[in-house]
Structure 1
Amino acid sequence: MIKLVAFDVDGTLRDRDYLPDSTRAALQKLKERGVALALCTGRSEYEMESLRKELGIDWAITCNGSHIGYRGKTVFGSAFPKDTVRRWLEEAERLKHTFLLYGSELMFMNREEDPHFRQSQREIGFMEPVTLPSPEEVPDIYQCIVFCEEHEEGVYTGGRKDAYYIHRWRPWAVDINPTGMNKAVGLRKLMDHLGLQPEEVAAFGDGHNDFEMIELAGSGIAMGNGSDELKAKARYVTRTLQDGGIAYAVDQWILPA
């Protein structure tokens, strides 16, 4: 019996501002049957607050698994060492790179303006960040996005990609998370907290940073609009987001009649 369902957000629950009515109805059906729901995303807790409240979802695994919040309050977190973040910001200032820094309550940016950030904002809808006052005032940071080319990221990773969880989602943009983090790590922490086994968990995703989560969940479900690599790892492949893929999967495999 499924007791927890985790949802990637972009390309899974919604496409920018479009969230199908069938998805809303499916989430309500799950809640009425006592199934716990969690967002599981590379975005920050700050960015997910309005969606989480709108959908009545208590749990949010954010920053690719580095932060877990319950109704917006931190329950678990794996932050970067602050000295590491300060060093990165010094290098970014020298190289004129822009960093997005994900805290538990706010999203910060080290530069007031950046064309790559604006492009990604148009494409996937980032909220407006707060300008970081100074490197000395860095709060706990659970994920960074660096707007740089792949050959430049070694300045921040030391050339050791195994030292961090790295997800490059544009030629000019890369997520960096603390060592050993990914969505599955965050989901496993939540499962342990709730006393659940993999066979009691379903997870929906569409992209490369969903690989580990889809493999962990007993019912890993790839969206029809997802990547072929993810579909190969999933237990089930549902319809596309636009064609009511979540509602179809809920009726077929999670809450069958």
Structure 2
Amino acid sequence: MYKLILSDLDETLLVNHHVPIENVQAIKKAREKGIKFVPATGRAFNMIPQILDEIDAYDKEGEFSICFNGALIVENKDNRILNFNGISFEQTNKLFKLSKNYDVCVLIFTMDMCYIYNANSDEVERKTAQKAPFKVMEVDNIDFLKGDKIAKILYEKKDVVYLKSIENDLQKDIEKLKVCASYSSNRYLEFNTLGIDKGFGLRWLANYLDIDTEDTIAIGDNYNDEKMIQAAGLGVCVTCAADDLKAQADYVTKHDYDQGAVKEVIEKYVL
């Protein structure tokens, strides 16, 4: 019997940054059966209060969130941090300097703020729509972040082929810096510290809740969801996912994210 469901947000649970009513209703029915539903997102915790409110999990004891691709695990009541594994300033600074060799927008997430360098209007509009606290950087160094808790750094460009070419170029640097790379929303190349991903988040939270990983479901659509899809007892890909990611899933939804994919999974495997 499944006891824990982890779901990605963008292009999985959400439509236009909100949870469709059919998904809300399915999550409610799953909870009535004693199953925990946990967002597992690349977003910061301070970007998801409205989403948590829509699924009746905002500021609730015994409700949890996995953020920054697994770098932050929170109990929603009073934003109680259970585990944080960020990226060091040294790792971030090196990746920031390397970014200047490429045509990308750079986003650096601390616990409380998103700093955007080489900002484009599209990304600023996206962060505004996501209700993300952000600042556009006017300087080309990040010394001001020394001593801050940095969660991750991203390169942004709406050209995944170009982003993958960057990852190939930086392979030796990635290995030397002990970071891991993943992709999301068909526009982000994300860097977390090595070993930190949504699969880590799933295993950590399952252990914390004394739930066997075989009793977990993970639902996602992109490469930053890959590790949790592999780690879950039931790994699910939304039908919009790339074929190589779908090949790793135990189940691929018939419906897309904007057609109730999460509802489909809950109805099929829980209800």
The interval holding the TM-score normalised by the smaller chain is 0.7 to 0.9
Q: Aligned runs of 1:168-179 on 2, under 5 Å?
A: 168-169=183-184, 173-179=188-194
User: Is the aligned partner of 1:61 residue 2:70?
Assistant: no
| Local SS of the residue matching 1:242 | helix
Letter of the structure 1 residue corresponding to residue 29 of structure 2: K
Partner residue in 1 for 2:144: 136
Match in the other structure for 2:114: 107
Task: Give 1:213's aligned residue.
Answer: 228
Deviations 1:180-226 (A, max 9, x none): 12110111111111111122111111112211111111111222222
- C-alpha contact (below 8 Å) 2:6/2:37 kept by paired residues: yes
Q: CA RMSD in A?
A: 3.0
Q: Distance in 2 between matches of 1:212 and 1:25?
A: 27
Contact 1:46–1:107 (CA<8 Å) still a contact in 2? no
Among 261, 264, 267, the alignment partner of 1:245 is 261
- Residue segments in structure 2 that go unaligned for 5+ positions in a row: 58-62
CA distance in structure 2 between the aligned counterparts of 1:161 and 1:82, rounded to whole angstroms: 15
Correspondence 1:52 to 2:59: no
- Tell me if the contact between 1:74 and 1:104 (Cα under 8 Å) persists in the aligned partners: no
Aligned length in residues? 251
The C-alpha deviation readout for 1:16-43, integer Å capped at 9, x for no partner, is 2353211010011111221111111122
Closer, same or farther: CA 51–161 of 1 in aligned 2, 3 Å: farther
Judge which range, 184-193 or 73-82, deviates more: 73-82
Q: TM-score, normalised by structure 2?
A: 0.79
Q: 1:95 to 1:243 in 2, by over 3 A?
A: closer
Instruction: Give the residue type in structure 1 aligned to 2:34.
Output: G
Cα distance change of structure 1 residues 121 and 177 upon mapping to structure 2, 3 Å threshold: same
2:206 to 191, 194, 201: 191
Instruction: Rate the CA distance shift 1:97–1:221 in 2: closer, same or farther, 3 A.
Output: closer
Task: Give unpaired runs (5+ residues) of structure 1.
Answer: none
TM-score (norm 1): 0.83
Residue type of the alignment partner of 1:248: E
CA contact (8 A) 1:65 1:186 kept: yes
Deviation at 1:65, TM superposition (A): 1.2
Matched residue, 2:60: none
Matched, 1:34 2:29: no
Contact kept, 8 Å, 1:210 with 1:230, in 2: the verdict is: no
Deviates more, 1:141-150 or 1:31-40: 141-150
Q: Distance in 1 between matches of 2:96 and 2:174?
A: 17
Deviation at 1:45, TM superposition (A): 1.5
Choose 217-226 or 96-105, whichever is displaced more.
Answer: 96-105
